[in-house]
Structure 1
Amino acid sequence: MPRVHLSRGVLNLALIWGVLSCGVLAGHPAAADTGQAEALYELMEMPELLGVMRKEGLKLGADMAEEYFPNRVVTSFDARVQQIYDVATMDGVMRGAFVSGLESRASDAQMAQLIAFFSEGAGVRLVPAELTARRDFLDDGIEDAAETRGEDIAARDPELGRLIGGYIAANDLVEQNVSGALTANYNFYLGLIEGGGYDIDETQILSDVWEQEEETRADSARWLNGYLLQAYGGLARADLQAYVDLSRSDAGAALNQVLFDGFGMLYNDIYRSLGQSISSLMSGQEL
């Protein structure tokens, strides 16, 4: 049975800015202002991030082409990957989910707290550091080296190790990323079926996806430590502590859930489209 090999960056669907779902907020706070949500989207440099994600996707597409079409030039698949990772389309999906999600989850007071954090607080330094680390990880050598350093981060720098470890634990980052990766993988298999090139029943799909759980968990934990070390290693510890504190607040919880939901939606669509494209080519159908 075919298996999609998710890149390590893709494994961390909503990690992008370090904050993941801390749970759905109870009740229904007063709706946040649309303009504030749009402003926060820009302050967090989401369009720039999507540009990096496109580059990650094109690398993944090249790997998939080698795996599924060995020794063949498949320009139609390359073109399809370019279309799937279109930044304008990705931005439309993510921006819409981000704004509508915050409108329904965050109060005006919570939005004010988030905007203050990312416009004049620690977020001013954290966001560029995270984006730089994401760009750095486009180089496999840098990514591998960071993951190796991250394996013994607590021994190398106890304070930083405590903050990063506490941050991962507080936000349940490993399990959230495992769930997101397995769901994306499931959608890839659905795409393979829909493309007509594979005959796979749902029982097979679920079995194969769950077989990857432990490997995905180990990869995700290793990637998280490496990425967070790469992003935050040179920052003031007070900034990282402030980020941990934000993620534990109601405002941070609202943002976490919105990011997780938005990136989950985006990657599920992307992986389903990738599966459809590969399968369609294999079955001789037009993309």
Structure 2
Amino acid sequence: MRKLLAIFLIMLTALPLWAGARHTVLMDVLQIRELSGILHEEGLQFGATLNDDWLEGQGGPAWAGQVTRIYDVDRIAEGIRAGLEPALEGEVLEAAIAFFASELGSQIITFENAARRALADPEIEAQARAKFVKQQDSNDVRLVQINRMIKAGDLINRNVTSALNSNYQFLRALVDGDVYTMSDEEILDDVLSEREAITEDTNIWLGAFLTLAYSPLSLEELTSYADFAESEAGRALNNGFFAGFDPLYEDISYALGRAMAMNMAAEEL
């Protein structure tokens, strides 16, 4: 009886272990480790901006170290995985793996990461934004496919919501750190006052990023990717990314706010 029970337990635990292995494959084909490194570098760059704007450039090694720890690569990767795992299972998981393990899927991830790195350069970002603004109201066949992806993932609205939530957490952390005295309602009103500007900026940045990233693709390849974005697996993947990114960046924003409050308090001493 004990032997049979042991075998039964092994069979039960084998299922999540197998699922975990397949999610690891998904993380690999999506090159999440590289993406996490890119997001880490973006975080350091944002931290430098906060240092200039809020600490008059006087944050020094202490602030830099705090920002580095907050944007820890492992933390980012684990946060992404936490969103992807419950969102993709069974057939949709296998469909996502199959697409991004293909030559086209692998190229797409490589192009996306390269474009994200390139946009870290202010001059390149400005050029990409200007190019998109000129194109955005045209009937360009490539933009039609890109707009299919944006619509399928509700990318504008979801990115704006994510940005607003992150800003809320940053400001709430400053209030908790006694930098400001504001009610939750006042924090929310302050954050929401920026919705229109954030929406406009998100629309242009996202368009610039996607047109730059997918410029090496043929129209046929771009159409295939739009087809995937509209599929059940594509929508599940998009949902998983936001399920991971939203709480991750809310936590990061709050941590940045608390670190900023501590640094501002130290300056006053």
Contact 1:90/1:266 (8 A) holds in 2: yes
Shifted more, 233-242 versus 258-267: the winner is: 233-242
Say whether residues 1:237 and 2:223 are aligned partners: no
Quote the sequence identity (%): 29
1:71 Cα deviation from its structure 2 partner: 5.3
Say whether residues 1:98 and 2:84 are aligned partners: yes
Distance in 2 (CA, whole Å) between partners of 1:278 and 1:190 is 12
Within 5 Å, give how 1:208-223 maps onto structure 2: 208-223=190-205
Gaps of 5+ in 1: 1-29
Say whether residues 1:179 and 2:161 are aligned partners: yes
Distance in 1 (CA, whole Å) between partners of 2:236 and 2:137 is 33
Per-residue CA distance 1:158-204 (angstroms, 9 max, x = gap)? 11121122322232211111111001111111211222332221121
Distance in 1 (CA, whole Å) between partners of 2:137 and 2:173 is 44
Within 5 Å, give how 1:1-287 maps onto structure 2: 33-70=19-56, 72-99=58-85, 101-102=86-87, 106-120=88-102, 122-154=104-136, 158-284=140-266
More helix by share: 2
Distance in 2 (CA, whole Å) between partners of 1:158 and 1:259 is 28
| 2:148 aligned counterpart, secondary structure | helix
Q: Relative to structure 1, is the Cα distance of residues 246 and 98 closer, same or farther in structure 2, using a 3 angstrom cutoff?
A: same
For the aligned residue pairs, the C-alpha RMSD in angstroms reads 2.0
| 1:198 aligned counterpart, secondary structure | coil
Distance in 1 (CA, whole Å) between partners of 2:137 and 2:169 is 39
Contact 1:154/1:160 (8 A) holds in 2: no
Gaps of 5+ in 2: 1-14
Distance in 1 (CA, whole Å) between partners of 2:89 and 2:33 is 24
> How many residue pairs are counted as aligned between the two chains?
252
TM-score (norm 2): 0.87
Higher relative contact order (CA 8 A, sep 6+): 1
TM-score (norm 1): 0.82
Larger radius of gyration: 2
Contact 1:192/1:276 (8 A) holds in 2: yes
State the 4+ residue runs in structure 1 displaced beyond 6 angstroms.
none
Q: Relative to structure 1, is the Cα distance of residues 125 and 48 closer, same or farther in structure 2, using a 3 angstrom cutoff?
A: same
Contact 1:110/1:250 (8 A) holds in 2: yes
Shifted more, 83-92 versus 271-280: the winner is: 83-92
| 1:240 aligned counterpart, secondary structure | helix
Distance in 1 (CA, whole Å) between partners of 2:250 and 2:234 is 24
Contact 1:191/1:272 (8 A) holds in 2: yes
Distance in 2 (CA, whole Å) between partners of 1:170 and 1:88 is 29
1:157 Cα deviation from its structure 2 partner: 7.5
| 1:182 aligned counterpart, secondary structure | helix
